[in-house]
Amino acid sequence: MQITIIAFGTRGDVQPAIALGQALVASGHHVRLLASAHFRNWIESHGLEAASSTVDIQALMESEGGRDWVEHGNDLFKQLCIIRQLLNQHGRFMAQEAWAAGRDADAIISQFTSCAYVSSIAEKLKCRHICMMLQPALVATYDGTAMLNAPLPNRRSLINYWFGKLIIQPAGWTLYGDLTNHFRETTLGLPPQTRQQNIAALLATPFIHGYSPRVVPQPADWPAHYHTTGYWFLDEQPHWTPPAELMRFLDSGESPIGIGFGSMTGHDNAAITRLLIDAVNLSGQRAILLSGWAGLGEAELPDTIFRLEAAPHDWLFPRLAAVVHHGGAGTTAASLRAGVPTIIVPHMADQPFWGQRVEALGVGPRALPRPKLTAPNLAAAIRTATSDAQMKQRATELGAAIRAENGMQTALDFLERYLKD
């Protein structure tokens, strides 16, 4: 069967898509993966066909709009406005490339960034459509543990349900509605949709959620064809050799903490670097500073901090005392799997949600939103994460439970049943 996976996003969005693609290929399917242009070589190195793309997510994140998104991402309504501006610039290219990549597909698997218009592609082609989500679907539920931006995140409540019904569930259409209808009319030759029609189409679409039910239990009031499978990990450490300088640093003292904000850029990354240096000094810990797309650590660093451009999380994180990161779904998954306490500094999108879950599970301190981040409060969080014995024990136990799951096989079993029906 010809399957196209659409995974526009940062590395944390693409990595589980590659893992899922590999599993489908091993089951006898042909998989084409569409992602940002600069991921092409990485995708092909894992034996998958990379669809042609001109969209560059890294360049987008480093643009003024992308930096604004990072700076204001903890404000829900500012976030929606900025995303709409970015979609006005890039969305039509993304939809056209999804059409080109999927027009011979028997099934298309999309993520949140493409579900709205891929639903229309599947309608045109009369092919199967599955949404793969790395965070809970935007569907109303009483259960605040499984809804982004829930007013009562750790409770079941009618307030959560109506907030989801009125705000969260229509959010995809608010962002993608104009783009979807323009695409339907000009490219697909389909009539425009109403918001209700688009929401109804997605509610009828099977969803697979690539995270552990131990981290986000599946709500009882979700549709029956929404499934929480467990994480889809792509282990890359067999292909990576650690630098000798890194090994010397790891061996020269107690386990350091790791700090990195991945693809999160900003308007003054030098200031963030200075803040992180001050926080590490105040905490009394050693640290590995992962520079990421933002280029953190481009300053004179003390001997207690080692700058590293990147490393496979499955290799690095188990060697750390704690991890400080932005709370992207992929990085959160890796830190929880490693069994070490997690400190989340959410910048935007689903990151505040993962910060709430880490705190609720007791495997990390309260999240520190980027606008409120200071050296003293980050230092305090680091001290808590590295000294709280119960927190460390809970993190160890959760990591062992996640490592015992087989989310990939669960997802594959569901997909095989669905594609054969």
> Contact 18/39 with Cβ under 8 angstroms?
no
Task: Categorize the per-residue pLDDT at 80 as very low, low, confident or very high, splitting at 50, 70 and 90.
Answer: low
| Residue 60, pLDDT above cutoff 80 | no
DSSP string, 52-64: P----HHHHHHSH
Task: Categorize the per-residue pLDDT at 78 as very low, low, confident or very high, splitting at 50, 70 and 90.
Answer: low
Between 268 and 128, where is the model more confident?
128
Task: Categorize the per-residue pLDDT at 270 as very low, low, confident or very high, splitting at 50, 70 and 90.
Answer: confident
Across the chain, mean pLDDT equals 89
Average pLDDT value for residue range 373-402: 97
Rounded CA gap, 390 and 298, in Å? 36
Q: Which of 168-172, 289-293, 316-320, 348-352 has the highest mean pLDDT?
A: 316-320
How many residues does the structure list for the chain?
A: 421
Average pLDDT value for residue range 206-230: 96
| Residue 65, pLDDT above cutoff 60 | no
Residue 74 has what pLDDT? Answer: 59
3-state secondary structure of 153: coil
* Cβ burial 339-361 (10 Å sphere, 16+ → b, else e): bbbbbbbbbbbbbbbbbbbbbeb
- Point out the least confidently predicted range of 84-88, 341-345, 386-390: 84-88
DSSP string, 17-34: HHHHHHHHHHTT-EEEEE
Rounded CA gap, 268 and 309, in Å? 18
Average pLDDT value for residue range 153-178: 91
3-state secondary structure of 170: coil
Rounded CA gap, 46 and 7, in Å? 15
- Angle, CA 385 vertex, CA 382 and CA 389 arms, to 5°: 145
- Point out the least confidently predicted range of 57-71, 152-166, 251-265: 57-71
Rounded CA gap, 416 and 208, in Å? 13
Residue 67 has what pLDDT? Answer: 59
> Contact 261/292 with Cβ under 8 angstroms?
yes
- Taking only the tens place, the pLDDT of each residue in 309-345 is 888 899 999 999 999 999 999 999 999 999 999 999 9
Longest dimension (CA), the chain: 65
Rounded CA gap, 309 and 297, in Å? 9
Report the topology of domain 237-404.
Rossmann fold (3.40.50)
Report the topology of domain 2-234+405-420.
Rossmann fold (3.40.50)
Between 54 and 232, where is the model more confident?
232
> Contact 39/50 with Cβ under 8 angstroms?
yes
Average pLDDT value for residue range 364-369: 95
- Taking only the tens place, the pLDDT of each residue in 281-318 is 999 999 999 886 666 656 788 899 999 988 889 999 99
Residue 63 has what pLDDT? Answer: 58
pTM for the model: 0.90
Helices (H), 204-292: 244-251, 269-283
- Taking only the tens place, the pLDDT of each residue in 5-25 is 999 888 888 999 999 999 999
Helices (H), 184-236: 195-203
* Cβ burial 67-86 (10 Å sphere, 16+ → b, else e): bbbbbbbbeeeebeebbbeb
Tell me whether the CATH fold assigned to 2-234+405-420 matches the one assigned to 237-404: yes
Which residues are within 8 A (CB) of 138 and not within 5 positions of it... i.e. 6 or more apart? Answer: 112, 148, 164, 168, 169, 171, 172
Average pLDDT value for residue range 351-365: 96
Task: Categorize the per-residue pLDDT at 238 as very low, low, confident or very high, splitting at 50, 70 and 90.
Answer: confident
Domains in the chain: boundaries: 2-234+405-420, 237-404
| Residue 66, pLDDT above cutoff 60 | no
